[in-house]
Amino acid sequence: MTTPDLNSDEFPPCRTQPGQVDSPGLTSQNPNLQNKPPIQANSTPTEAPPQAQKSFVDVVNSQASDSSFPTSMLHSYLAGAPPAPMGIRTESQGLPKIQFSVEETERLSEHYKFAIIGKFSHGFPPYRNMHRLLSTLKLKEPFTVTMINNRYALINLKNEADFTKLWTQRLWHIDGFPMRTFKWTPSFHPQEESSLAPVWIRFPSLPAHLFQKDALHAIARLVGNPLKLDEPTLFQSRLMAARVCVEVDLATKLVDEFVIGIGTDEVVQKVVYENLPKYCMLCKHIGHEAHSCYTKGNAPKPQKFQQHKGKALADPRRNEKGDQNAENVILKSESQVCLKLKNRGGT
């Protein structure tokens, strides 16, 4: 067992509260005890009547009625007035089970509807560096970063714009450590990666009048959940193909063509996927398929990652402009972070 470092940030120094004195000698400050006359030798002490033993619930409820009891501590107790019933108790596979309904799950997940999972497969940077670096991305609202374990961090954002900006990049390098981003779902588990991924798609030879934003949104919904458009598509400065970033489920069959009805006519529209990630149905991880999964002995184990400290870069292959400039983040030192944004993307 390793001995914790008492000088690290995980163990903040203890501070004496104002008015407290650390002294081995203790003197009673109760005036009632100081001014009370001594008991006479011939006096007979009165025995207190026996008190009934209180249950834990009684003790908690009595503390709750005491105005001096900290309110913040009351919320941590489950005794007292129980909350509204939730879930249905059943059994599954010989084990006790509690089933939450769709409505209950949506209500419980509301706080995390714009949350992202950041995965560090090859170590992770200091927490302060990671939070400071993400703070330089000029997000619209404050956010929180919470470590789930030594590989996963939960980045809880407050709006869809910040969520889309961070998630569509898909791969970041923070202080030399690669961080892949996944959409948080209520069924997230560290042993499995979500099959939901943002992917850029093209609609070649799409009729010009369908480059309108509302029309593209309706068309893209046939493929996945629309997230954003690229700049040439938004301003209709390039009509050879419309480009849209959509959320797709890699565990399902993807749409590669569909039919568009234009009045009394119909056209078959092709779908081109850019840098479509692979998803393994065996180990539930993104990056390879089942036939090349090394966990099942179908392929050799990947080579060990070599870290390059001192900077953080966004993967240019995940940029909405394809092979053009991405959002480049350069970490110059531990005390200085410089962000160079070269993003002219759409909405």
Using alpha carbons, select from 25, 78, 86 the residue that is nearest to residue 56: 78
Residue 15: its pLDDT value, please? 45
Residue 270: its pLDDT value, please? 97
Say whether pLDDT at 321 is over 70. Answer: no
Out of 178-187, 255-264, 275-284, the most confident range is 255-264
The single residue listed with the structure tokens 């008991």 is 39
Give the confidence band of 61 by pLDDT, cuts at 50, 70, 90: low
Q: What is the dihedral of CA 219, 220, 226, 227, to 10 degrees?
A: -110
Average confidence (pLDDT) over 313-338: 38
Burial (0-12, 13-18, 19+ Cβ within 10 Å), 113: middle
**Helix (H, G, I), strand (E, B), or coil: what is residue 78?**
coil
Say whether pLDDT at 313 is over 70. Answer: no
Can you spell out the DSSP letters for 167-225? HTT-EEEETTEEEEEEE--TT-BTTB--SEEEEEEEEET--GGGGSHHHHHHHHTTTSE
Asked if residues 233 and 346 have their Cβ atoms less than 8 Å apart, the reply is: yes
What global pTM score does this model have?
Answer: 0.58
Average confidence (pLDDT) over 214-243: 95
pLDDT in tens, 191-224: 888 889 999 999 999 999 999 999 999 999 999 9
Residue 74: its pLDDT value, please? 53
Give the confidence band of 324 by pLDDT, cuts at 50, 70, 90: very low
Give the confidence band of 117 by pLDDT, cuts at 50, 70, 90: very high
Residue 25: its pLDDT value, please? 39
Pairwise pLDDT comparison (79 vs 333), residue with the higher score: 79
H helix intervals, the chain: 31-35, 56-64, 71-74, 102-109, 127-135, 160-167, 213-220, 231-234
For residue 153, the Cα-to-chain-centroid distance in whole angstroms is: 6
Average confidence (pLDDT) over 260-270: 94
Domains and CATH numbers, the chain: 109-193+300-340 (3.30.70), 196-280 (3.30.70)
pLDDT in tens, 7-48: 444 444 444 444 444 444 334 444 444 555 554 545 555 566
Residue 249: its pLDDT value, please? 93
Residue 47: its pLDDT value, please? 61
Encoded tokens for 126: 């200091």
Percent of the chain past pLDDT 90, that is, above it, reads: 36
Say whether pLDDT at 183 is over 60. Answer: yes
